[in-house]
Amino acid sequence: MRFAAAAMAVAGKDLRCELRGKELLPALAQFVVLSLVIASFAFDLDSSSGPRLSPGILWLVLVFAGLLAFGRTFAAERDTGSLEAMLLTPAGPSAVFAGKALAATVLLVACEAVLLPAMAVFLASPISPAVVATVLLATVGMASLGCLFAALAAQTRARELLLPVLTLPLWIPFVVVGGRAVQVAMSGGGFGAWSPVGQPYAVLLDFDILFLVVTSLAARFVLDD
């Protein structure tokens, strides 16, 4: 109970700071739209090639938007000493990490709320509930991993370089499986793909559970000196 209350307090504080400061969300939205504009010119997309290339473009934009979002999660806190202040409370590093991961997930979902409609506009991608579900499923696992490595990278001087080097290899499973799931969804496959074991959705869910457990166990060692 106390863990949940502390995590919610941290997440609420992060979101409130972001809404007041308006540092990350406008930049992410701008990044997403610009990436799609560039992609639409670079690939010379039309109504037939658009849906075929869309899954790849979606995951590329999502991965780099994620790196931008998670890079800020812990760096600012370390610079101002507020992470230290939080960790000196009895809340514990795991609750602090869970709260920050939750806030980062919400920010990434907000970014996706711009990305998916923009894809429909710029790439003529068919955005179905199955596409949204795939992206949301992947976001949970990506956010927990991204936050863990952001916490680790924030302790170093070369944090901007270290974060992608650490994070991207472990995001590959989400890109591979998520890309496949989005491709299936965009070609008309729906939630029927949920039930059979081994289908992309089930695999994404497994990844989420695995990485949530691993990162919450590792968080205390990363955050607590």
Q: How far is the CB of 126 from other proteins (least distance, A)?
A: 39
**Token output for 140:** 């949970």
Size of the site for other proteins (CB under 8 A): 25
- 3-state secondary structure string, 77-145? HHHHCHHHHHHCCCCCHHHHHHHHHHHHHHHHHHHHHHHHHHHHHHCCCCCCHHHHHHHHHHHHHHHHH
Amino acid, single-letter form, for residue 154: A
Range 180-209, binding other proteins (CB under 8 A): none
Q: How far is the CB of 175 from other proteins (least distance, A)?
A: 33
Ramachandran quadrant class, 22 (left: phi over 0; alpha: psi -120 to 50; beta: rest): left
Candidates 78, 103, 74, 144; CA nearest to 10 is 103
Q: Is 147 an interacting residue with respect to other proteins (CB under 8 A)?
A: no
Nearer Cβ to other proteins, position 6 or 101?
6
Q: Is 169 an interacting residue with respect to other proteins (CB under 8 A)?
A: no
Q: Is 42 an interacting residue with respect to other proteins (CB under 8 A)?
A: no
By residue count, the chain amounts to 225
Nearer Cβ to other proteins, position 82 or 156?
82
Interacting residue with other proteins among 20, 46, 169, 196 (CB under 8 A) = 20
Site string for other proteins, 67-106 (x = CB under 8 A): -------------xxxxxxxxxxxxx--------------
Place of tokens 């991204």: 146
Nearer Cβ to other proteins, position 17 or 27?
17
Taking the C-alpha atoms of residue 103 and residue 7, their distance in angstroms, rounded to an integer, is 10
Q: Is 224 an interacting residue with respect to other proteins (CB under 8 A)?
A: yes
User: Could you list the residues that contact other proteins (CB under 8 A)?
Assistant: 2, 5-6, 9-10, 13, 16-17, 20-21, 80-92, 224-225
